[in-house]
């Protein structure tokens, strides 16, 4: 299990302090990268007709894990192989509020998967 420090924020789009990561907006059930909503990737696997979510062990978290891994790695094969682990290790552990998942934390997780497998 990784020890990640998720960034709780109310104003995740603040220009004062740029945070390099995926901005998760809970009320919108949306994940942003560079101020653009990422693709949910339901064409690969449709786990959640209600959309993206996080902070629990369910279908919304599965869809979020797949969407973020596909967007981050640009590797559908890797993402489909490991998104359930990513959901268990990271997405389901997020708070159910607006937050940011740092790119560096995702890269660390991906690197560990590639080394171990």
Which pairs from 9-18 meet CB under 8 Å and 24+ separation? 9/98, 9/99, 9/100, 10/98, 12/98, 12/99, 12/100
Q: Residue 85's pLDDT is what?
A: 97
Instruction: Summarize the confidence of residues 15-26 as an average pLDDT.
Output: 78
Choice between 2 and 50, residue whose per-residue pLDDT is larger: 50
Note the pTM of the prediction, 2 decimals: 0.85
Q: pLDDT by residue (tens digit) across 80-102?
A: 999 999 999 999 999 999 999 99
- Residue 49 pLDDT exceeds 50: yes
- Residue 76 pLDDT exceeds 50: yes
Percent of the chain with pLDDT over 90: 74
Largest CA-CA distance found in the chain, in angstroms, rounded: 40
């Amino acid at each position: 299990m990784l020890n990640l420090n998720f960034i709780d924020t109310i104003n995740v789009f603040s220009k004062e302090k740029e945070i390099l990561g995926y901005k998760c907006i809970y009320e919108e059930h949306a994940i942003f990268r560079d101020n653009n909503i990422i693709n949910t990737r339901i064409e690969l696997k449709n786990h959640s007709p209600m959309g993206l979510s996080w902070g629990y062990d369910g279908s919304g978290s599965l869809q979020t894990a797949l969407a973020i891994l596909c967007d981050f790695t640009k590797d559908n094969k890797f993402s489909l192989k490991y998104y359930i682990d990513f959901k268990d290790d990271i997405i389901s552990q997020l708070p159910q509020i607006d937050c940011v998942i740092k790119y560096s934390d995702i890269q660390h997780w991906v690197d560990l998967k590639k080394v171990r497998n």
